[in-house]
Homo-oligomer: A and B are copies of this chain.
Amino acid sequence: MSASSPGEQLHAFAERLYPICRSITGNGVRRTLRIIGERIPLSINEVPSGSEAFDWEVPLEWNIEDAWIEAPDGNRLAELGRHNLHIVSYSEPIRATVDLAALRHHLHTLPAKPDLIPYRTSYYRRQWGFCLSHRDAEALEPGKYHVVVESSLAPGSLTYGECFVPGRSTQEVVLFTHVCHPSLANDNTSGMTIATELAAWLASEPRRFGYRIVFAPGTIGSLCWLRNNEHGLKRIRHGLVIGLLGDPQPLTYKQSRRGNRDVDRIVPFVLRNLDASSRVIPFEPYGYDERQLCSPGFDLPVGRLTRAVNDGYPEYHTSADDLSLVTPGKLEESLEALKQIVTALEDDVRYINMCPKGEPQLGKRGLYGSMGGSSPADAQRAMLWVLSQSDGHTSLVDISAKADLPLASIKQAATQLEAAGLLKQQEDPAPPANEQ
C-alpha cells in the first residue's frame, strides 16, 4: 500500500485525532471537530451546562491543563503529558500531599493486564483519580506523594458537530459516531475518521436521501442531539451508529431494537456479500449511542456497525488501543463497506411492473437474445427477476437476495426495464411512524 493509498490517508487522519485529550465536554472535543471541519462542512452546536436533556442535565464543562503525581524520590508519575489516559476524565482540580495508602484510593489499574493503563471516567460524581499500569502502581514506595490536577469544572457547554448532506427526498439517514474518548485509537478515532471520509464521499454526488452525520459525545451528547432534533426524528428512514472500525475483527452489525427494520435487512445483505466472516448480533441495551436512539420512547430504525464490539477485544479501554491496532487496510475496508451500505440503502427502491400479465416480450425491445434453446445470460435472468417481483412491495435489495444475483445487476436490469417503459418506480413510503 503506497503512502497515498486511501487506507494510509485514513490512518494519517486518525493520527491527527488520536493525541487529543477529549471528554464529554471541553476543548478536546472542539479541537477534534475543528480538524474534522477542515475536511467536511460541519455545523457546531454548543449546549450550555445545566441544560436539560430528558432525564439528564448537561454537566459543568471540564478542561484540563496538566496532571501528575510526584513520588517521594521527586520523579513524576502518571503525567498527562505522557498519556491522556493517566487522568480519570472529569477529575476535579487538586493539589495535595498524601501518603501512599491514601493515594491508592485514587489509583486505577488493571491487575490482569499489568502493563496497560486503563481508561476511567467520573462524569457525574465529583472526584479525582489517576490511571496507571498495575506494574507501576505495585512498585510505588511508601512515602509522601504530591498530586496535582490542573483541571477546571465550570459552567460552559457540551459541543457536538453535524454535517448534513441533502438529498432528493425529505427522508434522512442518520450516522452517529462518538467523539468523547481521549487517546483510544480504535475507540474511537477510527469511527470519527471513517465518518468524516464517508461524509465527504456522500457529498460528492447527488443522493436520494439526506444524510446527517453526527459527531457527538456518548450518552449525554446523543441525548442533547435527540432533544434538539426531536421533531425531526420522523424524517429518519435509516440510521447507523458507527465506531471501532479499524481493528482486525470482521465487520459486525448489531440489529436495531426491533430487529426487523429495513436497515436490519439491508446492512446484513451487504455484509454477507462482502465478507463471509461478517457477523450480525441481536440488539442489547448496552453499547454506544444506540442505547439512546433505540430507547423505547424513540425506538428509531438505527443499527450499529463496528468491527470488535464494546468490551470485545483485549485492548478495549486501555492504552493498548493505540494507533498500531488500527490498520490502513481495515480502515479502508470499513469505509468501502459503508459506501456499499449507502449504495444499497439508495438502491433499495420498489418498482411496479407495468406489463404484468405474462412476461413482456423482451426480444422485440432488444433486451433478450433471439436464439432460443440455450439458457439466458445473467443480465436476462436479472430482468426476469425484476419483472417477476416488482409488485410495489419487493425492493431491489430483496430481489437481489432472492435471485442471488448482484445488486448492481438487478439495479441495471431495473434501469433498462424502466427505460423501456416496463417498470415504474414506486413512491417512497412515508417514514415509519413511532408506533410506541
Contact = CB atoms under 8 A, between A and B. Distances in A.
Nearest to A282: B402
A291 interface: yes
Interface stretch (A11-19, A117-125, A151-159, A329-337): A117-125
A71 to B, nearest CB: 24
Interface in A71-94: 88-89
A311 B370 contact: no
Given A122-B370, A375-B311, A358 B391 contact: no
A285 B223 contact: no
A316 to B, nearest CB: 9
A390 interface: yes
Interface stretch (A51-59, A141-149, A188-196, A262-270): A51-59
Interface residues of A, number: 63
Interface in A352-392: 353, 355-361, 363-364, 370-376, 381, 384-385, 387-391
If over half of A's interface residues share one DSSP class (helix, strand or loop), that class is named, otherwise mixed; here it is loop
B296 A356 contact: yes
Contacts of A356: 295-298, 436
A298 B358 CA distance: 7
Contacts of A403: 284
Interface string A210-238: 00000000010011001000000000000
A56 B363 CA distance: 10
Interface of A: 53-56, 88-89, 108, 118-125, 127, 219, 222-223, 226, 257, 282, 284-286, 291-292, 294-298, 310-311, 317, 353, 355-361, 363-364, 370-376, 381, 384-385, 387-391, 402-403, 436
